[in-house]
């Protein structure tokens, strides 16, 4: 069972992964786990492959990973969420996207962080695709985030905001 869980949410190019990287550099007792990572780790354990081998050859394993992901969700819609929560140690989940995922992690005691940036800022960072998809809008109305980070400025400003959150988390 995970000791502590921190989850991140935000629209594409809001800076979720950047915030997680800053935190991971300051909190080495945590490990990153994106929703897709747990499927890759499980597949690797079954096939005798490392995560890195799977990442290097993703096209080769893509269909098997999709099949495994679907198999798990057929067993239990929360199958992969539970697998993440069951991991040992401290975990950062970088891509929570829909209300159900949010609720499962929140109920497991996760610290919740929302990263926000204006559409203009996000568009300057990359091509915005599927903006009306549930994975982009599903958590827009959630109001009980533990922390909300405005990421419309530069990297140094973001780092200062993240360091302040790290300090609060470590104090708790």
Domain boundaries, the chain: 1-33+90-172, 35-86
Q: Which CATH superfamily is domain 1-33+90-172 in?
A: P-loop containing nucleotide triphosphate hydrolases (3.40.50.300)
> What are 18's two structure tokens?
């950047």
> What are 105's two structure tokens?
């992690």
Structure confidence by residue, pLDDT tens digits, 139-153: 999 999 999 999 999
Structure confidence by residue, pLDDT tens digits, 65-97: 999 999 998 999 899 999 999 999 999 999 898
User: Residues 107, 77, 139, CA angle at the centre, nearest 5°?
Assistant: 55
Q: How many alpha carbons lie under 13 Å from residue 76 in its C-beta half-sphere?
A: 6
The residue ranges of the chain whose pLDDT is under 70 are: none
How high is the pLDDT of residue 35? 81
> What are 107's two structure tokens?
């109920």
Neighbouring C-beta atoms of residue 15, cutoff 10 Å: 25
How high is the pLDDT of residue 36? 86
- Of 100, 69, 105, the residue nearest 84 (C-alpha): 105
């Amino acid at each position: 069972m995970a000791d502590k869980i921190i989850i991140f949410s935000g629209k594409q190019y809001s800076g979720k992964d950047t915030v997680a990287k800053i935190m991971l550099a300051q909190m080495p007792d945590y490990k990153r786990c994106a929703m897709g990572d747990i499927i890759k780790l499980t597949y690797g354990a079954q096939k005798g492959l490392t995560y890195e081998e799977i990442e290097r050859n993703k096209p080769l394993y893509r269909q098997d990973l999709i099949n495994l992901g679907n198999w798990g969700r057929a067993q239990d819609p929360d199958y992969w969420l539970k697998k993440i929560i069951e991991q040992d140690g401290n975990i950062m989940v970088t891509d929570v996207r829909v209300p159900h995922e949010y609720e499962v992690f929140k109920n497991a005691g996760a610290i919740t962080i929302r990263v926000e940036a204006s559409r203009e800022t996000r568009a300057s960072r990359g091509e915005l695709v599927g903006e009306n998809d549930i994975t982009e809008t599903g958590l827009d109305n959630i109001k009980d985030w533990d922390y909300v980070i405005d990421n419309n400025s530069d990297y140094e400003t973001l780092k200062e905001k993240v360091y302040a959150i790290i300090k609060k988390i470590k104090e708790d």
